[in-house]
Structure formats: structure tokens, C-alpha cells
Amino acid sequence: MRRMPSRIPCLALVALISPLGPTHLDAQAPPTLVGVVGGYTSTEHVWSPDADAESVAGFTLGAFVDVQTPADWLSIGAEAAYAQRGSNVLIDVGGTPTPGGIRTDYLTLAIRIRAAIEVGPSLLHVAVGPVSDVVLRSRLDPLLTQVLDEESATAFGVIAGAGVGAWVTERAFVEIEARIVEGLQAAYSGNFVSAHNRSRELVARVGLLVGR
């Protein structure tokens, strides 16, 4: 299993709920990495029509499962995490420029396809896939509720990132990844106005190899 430095870890959404599935693994089951992910987020809303918006800092924290595919350079997996998103915005309310803030806590569920190459002791990778943000809690300044009167309980988007990682022991893997989460569906909307999430994240992922 020390071969794994050239077998890139990634995710599989069903693996997050694997305790509910079969209780034993096939002898030829692929290498599996389970672990935690967490880090910094910076989010702004993309408005239509345009509005003057500022990003808001937050954090994300969750868990992942990575499953190696038969191809050494390709893997697939899943990630579930708590993430803070929001923005500060200056919009027109009844003809008056009005500042306001939006803060939303999400449960994010992502499936990622990942490709990587080995460079010395490190693995350089890129990853991309669909993501779904499920609202846990939201807070809007009172004046903004006059403009944004509809909130999507689930906002779909895409996650894309790149990073570097390394094996620190025979079974422990650590990596740093920079990524962007782009909302493809309006998180908030109203009459002739909508706001999509756009988050930039810098996260660390720490995993432990199991099943071998």
C-alpha cells in the first residue's frame, strides 16, 4: 500500500455512508482514504443586475472519503462539510442606496473527479465536480428582505481546485488545496434581482489509509 504515493486519493459520496452498506470488503477493494478537511473561506455574491458587494471571511470544516480508480493518476470521491458564506452589499432599496449583509451557513456536499502527478515526494493535483449547498441557517439585514424575498433551500454549483500533498507516514496523507466554489443557481432572488454564491477557499485535508 506504500505504492499509494502514485495512486492519488479521492472521494466517493457513497463511501461517506458506507457503514450502512456491506460489512466486509472484497480482497481486491481499491485503496481508500478517509479524513477531515477544513480551512478558510472568502465569499461574495454575484448579483444580477450588478451591485457593489464585498467578500466576507468564514471557515469550512468537514469530512471526506477518497477512493482510488484503476488508473494510477485518476480518482473519485466525496466531501461533506459545514461552510460559512455571505457578503456585504450596497443595493438600491426604493431609490435609496442601502448597505446590508447576508450570512448563510451551509452543509456542502461535493463529488470530485481528481487527476494528479507525482513530483518527487509530492503529489500535484487538480480536482473538479458538482457541489450542492444545503441551507442550515441564514441571516439577512432587514432592509435586504424587501429585495430578496426568495431563498433557495439548496443551491447547486461546481467546485474546482488544485493543490499539493504528500505521505507523512505509510498511512497518513496531508495536502493543501486552493479552490473556488461557483454557484450556478441563485442562492437568493427577488423581483428582477438575484444573487449567486462565489467562494474562494484554502483548505487542508488530512487522511488515513484504510482497507489495506
How much is the pLDDT for 166?
A: 94
What secondary structure, in 3-state letters, does 89-151 show?
A: EEEEECCEEEEEEEEEEEEEEEEEEEEEEEECCEEEEEEEEEEEEEEEEEEECHHHHHCCCEE
Dump pLDDT digits (tens) for 79-130: 999 999 988 887 666 666 667 788 999 999 999 999 999 998 899 999 999 9
How much is the pLDDT for 28?
A: 62
With 90 as the cut, is the pLDDT of residue 212 above it? no
Q: Note the pTM of the prediction, 2 decimals.
A: 0.81
* Residue partners of 120: CB distance under 8 A and separation at least 6: none
How much is the pLDDT for 44?
A: 87
Percent of the chain at pLDDT > 70 equals 82
For 203, the domain range is 4-210
Count structural domains, the chain.
1
CATH number of 18's domain = 2.40.160.20
